[in-house]
A and B are shown apart, each in its own frame.
Chain A
Amino acid sequence: MHWTLNEIQNCVAFNSQLFTKMFYICSEFQMKKKAKIILDQDGLNRTVTRLCHQLVEHHGDFKNSCIIGIQHKGVWLTDRILKRMASLYPHLKIVQGKLDITFFRDDYRTGGKIPQASETDIEFLIENKKVILVDDVLYTGRTIQAALQALQNFGRPASVELLVLIDRRFNRHLPIQANYSGLKVDALDKAYVLVEWKEEGGHDRVLFYDAENPKS
């Protein structure tokens, strides 16, 4: 393949533009530790809609399926999904539950403060049901491991699937993968992805921080 001089010049210019932009973003993170919005309200709505369609594709009438949100942010995502589902597929009846994993965490007793437990509300047996676990961010996989263990208290499910809004692919500590993911984010370990919901008094959006959790 032969490139004309013009094509090569264009390509270099584009790359240098991209490079400058990337450099700008990186330096902005380093200098000001500012957050970048990687999913805004419209983007988030679109993503939730897509996840709804994907779920229906796999679970059909949801007769033998149930959806369980992990406290707290997974529960909020579940609520959004079900709300969107109600407008997209009004005939569907979907069983919903909330799962708190506090007592199943593996970082309990490492000293200092411990997370306070919140409500678990699963008013049905998951025996032989197809369970869709929902959380906001899949990072190390430890939360999901705890959730899988906690789920066993409610029976033996036919299968368990995982739905996450953000999948941080390169930071896993355990062999756990999502079946449905909204957005895949490739970032270093020190970066932080924060999902904000209107329910907690902010905006609907997903923020990316190059440094540690800004709230900690």
Chain B
Amino acid sequence: MKEAKLSTRHLIGIKDLLEEDIHLILETANHFKEVLSRPIKKVPSLRDFTIGNLFFENSTRTKLSFELAEKRLSADIINFSASGSSVSKGETLLDTVQNILAMKVDLIVLRHPSVGAAQFLKERTQAQIVNAGDGTHEHPTQALLDAFTIQEKCKKLKGIKVAIIGDILHSRVALSNILLLNKMGAKVRVCGPPTLLPKHVSTLGVDVSYKLKETLEWCDVANVLRIQTERQELQYFPSGREYNLYFGIDKSTLDQLEHEIVLMHPGPINRGVELSTSAADSKHSVILEQVENGVAVRMAVLYLLAAQKSA
């Protein structure tokens, strides 16, 4: 019987994971995907484990996906949203978390608008931390589920050409994806208007392109990102319509390509800006499969991390 364990007690970012860890998570996720196809989709692994979902920022997919993953693993859960809580009365992040931990919570899933929030908690609390997105820094479970989806579609990760298109500057999904795909031997190219590409992005070991058509011809997989207007304090491009003209993808763009590509998007989609409705709902799109895989991948992450509790 093969045995293994993750090299870390927390999941703060992809940068902390080894290649073996990523393989282990993806392989375990594959088994959980099978569990999710059963008539009864539940396993008892985490029945003595309590998880707190702390969301200091809005979320639909990630929050529901984590919650469902936890329930499928039989964990006890408590949910916390910043709106409607004592955060509005001035309670600090650390105080909030320590009060929640006093209720005997084993693991915290944290989404926070500030970069490094998960690391901050890891250094100051006893609980295990899973980063569900910290500002513009990392969103490791999204990168893992993207990699899982790519591996499922392309049968491998090594050597696969992945283009990440759009608002790279404000995207935690982009950074986590770049780190993960590089570790797994995929080729990554980022593409977008120069104002939305970080100045030194090529030092991460990626190609840079400003031409959408050329990038789409090059890649096997296009991961299209949302324009994050909520994080943009400056005007990075003249208008949504102009962005759509140069970097928007529609059905005809995809049909004109010489080979078929896989179209991904972490959601939520700005329909008519980065993707047209016809492209988002086309046969190229695996956007809903990403969401489906998200539950299995998060089950794998929680299952493997929880195993280390008493280690």
Chain A residues whose C-beta falls within 8 Å of the C-beta of B204 in the assembled complex: none
Whether the pair B31, A117 counts as a contact (CB closer than 8 A) is yes
Interface bits B2-36 vs A (CB < 8 Å: 1, else 0):
11110000000000000000001001100110110
Q: How many CB-defined contacts (below 8 Å) exist between A and B?
A: 69
Can you name 21 A-B residue pairings with CB atoms under 8 Å?
A72-B1, A103-B35, A104-B44, A109-B48, A111-B311, A114-B5, A114-B304, A115-B3, A116-B2, A116-B3, A116-B4, A117-B27, A118-B31, A120-B35, A149-B44, A153-B35, A153-B40, A153-B42, A153-B43, A154-B38, A154-B40
Residues of chain B lying within 8 A (CB to CB) of residue A56 = none
Point out the residues of chain B lying under 8 angstroms from A103, CB to CB: 31-32, 35, 43-45, 303
Shortest C-beta distance, B147 to chain A (Å), equals 18
A100 to B2, CA, bound (A): 13
> Could you say which of A116, A152, A153 contacts B27, with CB atoms under 8 Å apart?
A116
B237 → chain A closest CB, angstroms: 46
CA distance A102 to B48 in the complex (A): 17
Residue pair B31, A152 in contact (C-beta under 8 Å): no
- The residue of chain A having its C-beta at the shortest distance from the C-beta of B46 within the complex is A109
Please name all residues of chain A whose beta carbon is closer than 8 Å to the beta carbon of B45 when the two chains form the complex: 103-104, 108
The 4 closest A-B pairs by CB, nearest first: A103-B43, A113-B3, A117-B31, A116-B2
Taking Cβ atoms with an 8 Å cutoff, the residues of B that contact A are 1-5, 24, 27-28, 31-32, 34-35, 38-45, 48-49, 303-304, 306-311
CB distance from B9 to the nearest CB of A (A): 12
Cα separation A124 to B233 with both chains bound (whole Å) = 56
Distance in angstroms between the alpha carbons of A125 and B40 in the assembled complex: 11
Q: For the complex, what is the distance from the CA of A119 to the CA of B34, rounded to whole Å?
A: 8
Chain B residue numbers with a CB within 8 Å of A104 are: 43-45
Give CA–CA (A103, B42) in the complex, Å: 10
Scoring A residues 94 to 114 as 1 if CB is less than 8 Å from chain B, else 0, what string do you get?
A: 000000101110001111111
Q: Collect the chain B residues with CB atoms within 8 Å of residue A112's CB.
A: 5, 311
Q: A interface, how many residues as a size bin?
A: 20 to 34
A155 at the interface (CB under 8 A from B): yes
| Interface SS, B side | loop
A57-82 vs B, CB cutoff 8 Å, 1 = contact: the mask equals 00000000000000010000000000
- Complex Cα distance, B64 from A37, in Å, reads 55
A120 to B31, alpha carbons, bound, how many Å? 8
Residues in chain A near residue B35, CB distance under 8 A: 103, 120, 153
Chain B residues closer than 8 Å to A119, beta-carbon distance: 31, 34
Looking at the assembled complex, report how far the CB atom of A124 sits from the nearest CB atom of chain B, in whole angstroms.
Answer: 11
**Docked-complex contact B39 and A154, CB < 8 angstroms:** yes
A interface, CB within 8 angstroms of B = 72, 100, 102-104, 108-120, 125, 149-150, 152-155
Whether B310 and A109, one on each chain, are in contact in the complex, defined by CB atoms closer than 8 angstroms, is: yes
Chain B residues within an 8 Å CB radius of A115: 1-3
Bound together, the chains give a CA A104 to CA B44 distance in angstroms of 6
Is B310 within 8 A of A110, CB to CB? yes
Question: CA separation between A102 and B73, bound complex, in Å?
Answer: 13
Q: In the complex the two chains form, is B43's CB within 8 Å of A116's CB?
A: no
Instruction: Kindly list chain A residues whose C-beta atoms are within 8 Å of the C-beta of B28.
Output: 116-117
Would you call B38 and A153 a contact (CB within 8 A)?
Answer: yes
The answer to whether B3 touches A114, judged by C-beta atoms less than 8 angstroms apart, is yes
Docked Cα-Cα span, A124 to B311, in Å, equals 38
By beta carbon, the residue of chain A nearest B48 is: A109
Taking the closest CB of chain A, its distance from the CB of B281, in whole angstroms, is 31
- Chain A's closest residue to B43 (CB) is A103
> 19 additional contacts, CB 8 Å, given A104-B45, A120-B35?
A72-B1, A103-B32, A103-B44, A104-B43, A104-B44, A110-B310, A113-B3, A114-B307, A115-B1, A115-B2, A116-B1, A116-B27, A116-B28, A149-B44, A153-B35, A153-B38, A153-B39, A154-B38, A154-B39
Which residues of the other chain, B, contact A125 by a CB distance below 8 angstroms? Answer: 39
List the A side residues contacting B5 at CB < 8 Å: 112-114
A155-B44 CB under 8 A given contacts A111-B310, A115-B2, A120-B31: no
From B31, which residue of chain A is reached at the shortest CB distance? A117
Query: Which of chain B's residues has its CB closest to A106's CB?
Result: B44
Question: Are B40 and A102 closer than 8 Å at their CB atoms?
Answer: no
Q: Which residues does chain B contribute within 8 Å of A111, judged by CB atoms?
A: 308, 310-311
Q: What is the CA–CA distance of A100 and B40 in the complex, to the nearest angstrom?
A: 15
- CB-based contact B39/A155 at 8 Å: yes
Inter-chain contacts of B48 with A (CB < 8 A): 109
Query: Smallest distance from the beta carbon of B169 to chain A beta carbons, Å?
Result: 39
A114 contacts which chain B residues (CB < 8 A)? Answer: 3-5, 304, 307
Q: How far is the CA of A26 from the CA of B5 in the complex (A)?
A: 39
Query: Cα distance A152–B49 when bound, in Å?
Result: 22
Contact B307 A108 (CB under 8 A): yes
